[in-house]
Amino acid sequence: MFTYLTAGESHGPGLVAVVEGLPAGMGFSVDDLRHELARRRLGYGRSPRMGIEKDEVEVIGGIRHGRTLGSPVAVVIRNTEHDEKWSEEMSPHRGEPKRRMTTPRPGHADLAGMVKYDTHDARNILERASARETAARTVVGYLAKTLLGYLGIAVFSHVVEIGKVRVPPGPVPEPDDLTDIDASPVRCFHPASAAQMEAEIQAARDAGDTLGGVVEIVATDLPTGLGSHVHWDRKLDARLAHALMSVQAIKGVEIGDGFDQARTSGSMAHDEIVVANHGGLGRETDRAGGTEGGMSIGGRLRVRAAMKPIATVMKRLRSVDVDSGEPTQAFFERSDICAVPRAGVVCEQVVAIVLAQEAQRMFGGDTIEDLIAAHERYRGRITDF
């Protein structure tokens, strides 16, 4: 099962992703990786920073002639702003910062981190806590999606809520719909709702405020049995919730219709088992979202993540200067009005990482051919079900 580590600060020289344990022989394309990183920058309501930040990718290990070697894959994403604006302030050499940030911002990691790490400079905390870190996880997610692709599994996302606008119940999009989803300024597959979402974001912009929302992540063609019921830390739904809650500003996760299920009776909450058209067993409903007992039940997985409104608000929130102890207002730099469309792309990555890890744990293999062969044998064994 592959593992990964990311490093780097928002305004440092760059971000680094190191992925260990990928099978040898897996395809890799720098252009495809750049495309995935560009998807992370999509969405109506983004700040001018998206026109400044560029994702300059450099592969420094683990890939040769477009194939993984089985050794650790290392990728650097250069920060194009660093040399011009931040090289002195973020210098690794001895010295003192010229622009200490002594006022923690509500809703951020600032104050808790300043207390925990004994610093009066919030920049020591916010640089790593920044959502810029998700660019490195997008590199890992691209590799995870590539691995899953060999098993016929696709992972994508779409926005289902922004502010007070909610997409009405309807068919779940399919992987072929991703181009249309990404073409939407808010990455919403329902055109009427998308237009309302844009209006909601514009109203928040005019009011100097921010908005949150909900994204749905969908994975298709999963085999039955990813995850396990035997240990708490092997349960697939638990691992998904953990991964999604690790994404900056995500405050809630539900698998399938989790919250709605809590409001209904048991006879209406579960997916009854029926004889399918092909003669095996199947389900006519999709309330559980594709998991039962900590394992995938085969087919489609559906999970939602709720993102809070961005905490950096033009209407500056109250805070306290930790040096003087005097009440003041939180620091405001540039900020998005709404980053929900972007969050969906990031949530895709962490869901893909969990699914790829569980697939690799289940099917093993030092080469991609061995992984595919084990997966095909398993699929063949369970056809009678």
Tokens linked to 112: 């808790």
Question: What does the CA dihedral 244, 342, 141, 228 come to, rounded to 10 degrees?
Answer: 20
- For 71-128, write each residue's pLDDT tens digit: 999 999 998 888 778 998 999 999 999 889 999 999 999 999 999 999 999 999 999 9
**Residue 137 gets which letter from DSSP?**
H
Which residues span the domain enclosing 74? 3-384
Given CA atoms 128, 305, 251, 226 in this order, what sign does their dihedral have?
Answer: negative
pLDDT in tens, 328-355: 998 876 678 999 999 999 999 999 999 9
- The 10s digit of each residue's pLDDT in 23-52 is 999 999 999 999 999 999 888 876 655 555
Alpha carbon distance 27, 43 (integer Å): 29
Closest to 281 in 3D by CA, of 385, 163, 364 = 385
CATH label of the domain that carries residue 43: 3.60.150.10
> Does residue 141 surpass a pLDDT of 90?
yes
> Which of 114-128, 136-150, 177-191, 269-283 is the least confident region?
269-283
Any idea which of 196-210, 309-323, 358-372 has the lowest mean pLDDT? 309-323
The DSSP secondary structure of 198-262, one letter per residue, reads HHHHHHHHHTT----EEEEEEEEEEEEEEE-SSSGGG-HHHHHHHHHHTSTTEEEEEETTHHHHT
> Is residue 227's pLDDT more than 60?
yes
**Is 89:79 a contact under the CB 8 Å cutoff?**
no
What is the pLDDT at residue 49? Answer: 54
pLDDT at 385 over 80: no
Place 147 in a pLDDT band, splitting at 50, 70 and 90.
very high
DSSP, res 170: -
Number of structural domains the chain divides into:
1
User: What is the chain's mean pLDDT, rounded?
Assistant: 93
What residues contact 318, with CB distance under 8 A and at least 6 apart?
Answer: 106, 327, 328, 329, 330
Asked if 203 contacts 337 with a C-beta cutoff of 8 angstroms, the reply is: no
> Which structure tokens are listed for 229?
């019921």
11 confidence band (pLDDT: 50, 70, 90):
very high
